[in-house]
Structure 1
Amino acid sequence: MTTRSLVPAPVRRHFRDLASQTSVLRLIKGMWEDQGFVPSGDPNEETGERRSLWHEYEDNVDWSDPGHVSRVLRVYETVLDGVHEGPIEDTRKLLRRHGFNFDAKGQIRPRIEFAISSAKIPTSLKSLRDPAVILDSFVRIDRALQNDPAQAIGSAKELVEATAKTVLLELGEPFDDKTAKLPALIDQAQRALQVHPQSVAPGPDSSHAIKRILGGLTSIAIGLGELRNEGWGTGHAPATPRVGLLPRHAHLAVGAAQTWCHLMLDTLADPTAPWRAAARRHSHSPV
């Protein structure tokens, strides 16, 4: 599974176009090298000296690295310093569409960078084609955990659901996005990755102890949906006020959701995970 870019291609293309229209070679060189980047010197298929030079600097960016991405965003901010209001508004709409905020001070703040830099986020998240929904759940959990336990519980349930759906999408497993219930999604995703208590896999994945833990994790993940549906989490309005709901309840729900999410995404990204061998056998089996 290849590592995915934290900056979507449309955003990168937009700023390449914008810089080639508004900046000269000297300025392009300065804005990139001020952030510690050097040109690759490699030929590319861009037309025009400005676009070609810009592409050479992009060649040396690790688009999966939050530190690199943070410095690239400072380059983008410098480009926008010399742009008129019309293109600025178009840029703001594009950034918002792809999960970035462009504030009144001219700073670009990506939700992706915030989430990836958190110690609670699985590094395997960077392997996904589209991590935005899962990242959004992590961000909302982080904001709500201390002051809004109901929101944190609701977001924890959404994190589990988003993770299950993402795993199934990545593996090409069919499911009904509109009608599938959380327990069914959890069951299907765990079976697909062979981390279900009933899965048969080599090594420790089939040990009695691991299966007991997996059974507990499955029950916990399903319990999150039940907790939210009982009205303790946002998404279902309670019939009565949520009396007695405290941050400790939110921490319980969030910790369980994050543990399940880590397991699923790490297994999905693991090149030695048993599900990969099973997938290869299936792809090579005669039709």
Structure 2
Amino acid sequence: MNADLISKRTRNAFREILVGWTLAEITTEFDNEGFSADLDHAPSVDGQRRTRVEQLYHRIDFSDPRHVSRLLEVYQTVVATTRNYNSETAQTLLDHLHRDGVDTSGTSFKVPLRGHSSLQPLGAVAKIFTADQLQTQIARINASIETDPALAIGTAKELVETTCKTILADLGEAHGSLDLGDLVKATTKALKLVPDGVPNEAKGAEAIKKTLRSLGATVAGLGEMRNFYGSGHGQDGRARGLTPRHARLAVGAASTLAMFLFETHHARGS
């Protein structure tokens, strides 16, 4: 289960401000953003207004950026209304949002970006290797998994390619214009994948190579699928594109492969 993008502390803070609104005002503001109350939900809170807010919250997926984006429209109105009579309280609400990572500096509040968990350690490695291109790709993936899965998948493929080329360049190996599969093969060949002296060393290395090739093939396969679901060629109006779950599969495979290659490279003392 994904983590909530808006914390319970923040939700409760806004709920307590909404206690000062009428039931009609509360319902209308949420309805403006497409939210309706679950009237069958019986929360353990006191008062009609608190109950109504919790019934509205009950139908919101706080881990879904699309739901949270609409909720932030509600919260932005609450902050603006509160500022008219109590600027300190409005600032307290903003402080709660800032703690959750919400950007309130623009004309609309922005959903906090939580990076794909498997990319976080890879980001640290990118800094060590001063691989700016890799950092750019990680940021692009994090920003597009939910909103543009095809872009995230394509970038995941580029991330593996960049990883292989970075390691090969570090080892003084030429990589030319190899495709993804050949890049992974060349990189695994350049890296000694198991320590010296391990029993059945050759068999162990081959098993690892098969696993890495499979991860690379997963990323490449999803990249090829992206072309079939692309926006070109006047597709059927009912055609559906790749979804965030496909993007998470590609990103998971790409980051696992990239991290293993980088860690192996580091373990070799390079």
- TM-score range, shorter-chain basis? 0.3 to 0.5
The alignment's TM-score, normalised by the length of structure 1, stands at 0.45
The alignment's TM-score, normalised by the length of structure 2, stands at 0.48
